Structures are given as C-alpha cells and as structure tokens.
Chains A and B, each alone.
Chain A
Amino acid sequence: SQELEQSPQSLIVQEGKNLTINCTSSKTLYGLYWYKQKYGEGLIFLMMLQKGGEEKSHEKITAKLDEKKQQSSLHITASQPSHAGIYLCGAALTDSWGKLQFGAGTQVVVTP
C-alpha cells in the first residue's frame, strides 16, 4: 500500500545485534498493528498501538507509535534466529476499523 511505507525492505543482522523497522503513514493512524509472518504461513500478532507516544514491549521486541500517530517503529534487541521472518505493519487509516492497510513487509534474516 502506498499509504503505508515500511523500511527497510529487507535486512540481515548478526545474531545478538539489534534491529529497527519503520512504518510511516501519510495519514493519521487510528491504530497500528505489528505482525510477523513466516513464508507460506499466516500472520502472528505481535503488538497493537493506539495512542500517540505509546510504547509496548514483549520479550525482546519493543514497538512505539509517535506523538503525531503517523510513524511506528519496531525494535528487536539482541536478535536470535527465532526472530527471522517477515514483519508487517498494518494500520487502521479511518475510524472504520474493519479495513486495515498493510505495508509491504520487511524480511529479517538473522545470521550466526
């Protein structure tokens, strides 16, 4: 979706290193979701952010939504092989929550 840009498109990180993925919208976000997908499989819910400035963490993954609610970042600390996969951000761009726009995804490869 051109309304939601994800960067980088892909990244290779050495095990133990940190990584950050960004998701930028041209519109104000009513809600922002981060999902993880392994090739050929469904999406696994990671986190949901709604309020400007909100930050959530789960294990080694932290997601933030900026104050203007137009950009979110996903940060993984001390990456592990289990963190490999495709990370997708999905956003509610209107107050009709039924319709999410997704970014194109970021493929993460973790090397030994």
Chain B
Amino acid sequence: GAGVSQSPRYKVAKRGQDVALRCDPISGHVSLFWYQQALGQGPEFLTYFQNEAQLDKSGLPSDRFFAERPEGSVSTLKIQRTQQEDSAVYLCASTKLGAFNTEAFFGQGTRLTVV
C-alpha cells in the first residue's frame, strides 16, 4: 500500500476483554515497530520486528501484551484482559532497511479506550 495502515482506527473495549490491533506495513519494509502513546506524551517503544523475528520486546508492559508478525509482513498486537491503563494510541511504524537509520513511516494509530 501507499503507507502504513492500521486497523481499527478506534476501539472501545470493556475491561477484561481481549483486543487485537493490526498493522499493515509498507510493502517490502523489513522492520516494524509498535509504540504506545498516552495522552499528552511522546510514543513509548513496545516491540520491534525484523522480518518475522521479534528482536526486541523489552517495552511490552506486561505479559498481557503479545505481538506477532508470522510472515514478515502484517503484524498484530494483542492485549489480553485489557485494563484501563491500557487506554492509549497504539502506533505502528515500518522502515525499508534493517533499523531506524533511514526514514521511518508511521501509521495513523489505533486509539484504544478501555471502559
């Protein structure tokens, strides 16, 4: 596609519900990143994939968060048993080469609200 596509754009979940957020990176982009952005804050790193390999997941806040990219293209961020503190915008970014030493393209984000 022309850019990084994320879906859904908005998600309201009841506390305790599981959610899955999807990221379609730019075709051919090797690296994919997930970030969490709370209101009024900068994005916080969650996890990083190079192709299908998850090279860094140090930013995932708890074992309720799980990300995958099984075929090295589309990625899914799953949050189990959502809590109110999970409410945030989840941003996905992709880059052509192996890392960020090149331009990184961000999607529009998924705004998750846990009620």
Contact = CB atoms under 8 A, between A and B. Distances in A.
Q: Which 5 A-B pairs have the closest CB atoms?
A: A97-B99, A102-B42, A98-B48, A43-B106, A42-B106
Given A41-B109, A43-B91, A88-B43, A48 B103 contact: yes
Nearest to B105: A45
A61 interface: no
Given A1-B42, A99-B48, A104-B40, A42 B101 contact: no
A22 to B, nearest CB: 15
Q: Which size class do B's interface residues fall under?
A: 20 to 34
Interface stretch (B52-60, B70-78, B80-88): B52-60
A80 interface: no
Contacts of A40: 89, 109, 111
Contact of B100 (A6, A44, A98, A104): A98
A73 interface: no
Contacts of B106: 35, 42-45
A96 interface: yes
Given A45-B104, A105-B41, 19 more contacts: A1-B44, A33-B104, A40-B109, A41-B108, A41-B109, A42-B107, A42-B108, A48-B103, A88-B43, A96-B99, A97-B98, A98-B31, A99-B45, A99-B58, A99-B59, A100-B33, A100-B43, A102-B43, A102-B44
Chain A's interface: helix, strand, loop or mixed, by majority? strand
A109 to B, nearest CB: 15
A7 interface: no
Among B55, B56, B106, B108, max chain A CB count under 10 A is at: B106
A98 B33 contact: yes
B91 A31 contact: no
Interface of A: 1, 4, 6, 31, 33, 35, 40-45, 48, 50, 88, 90, 92, 96-105
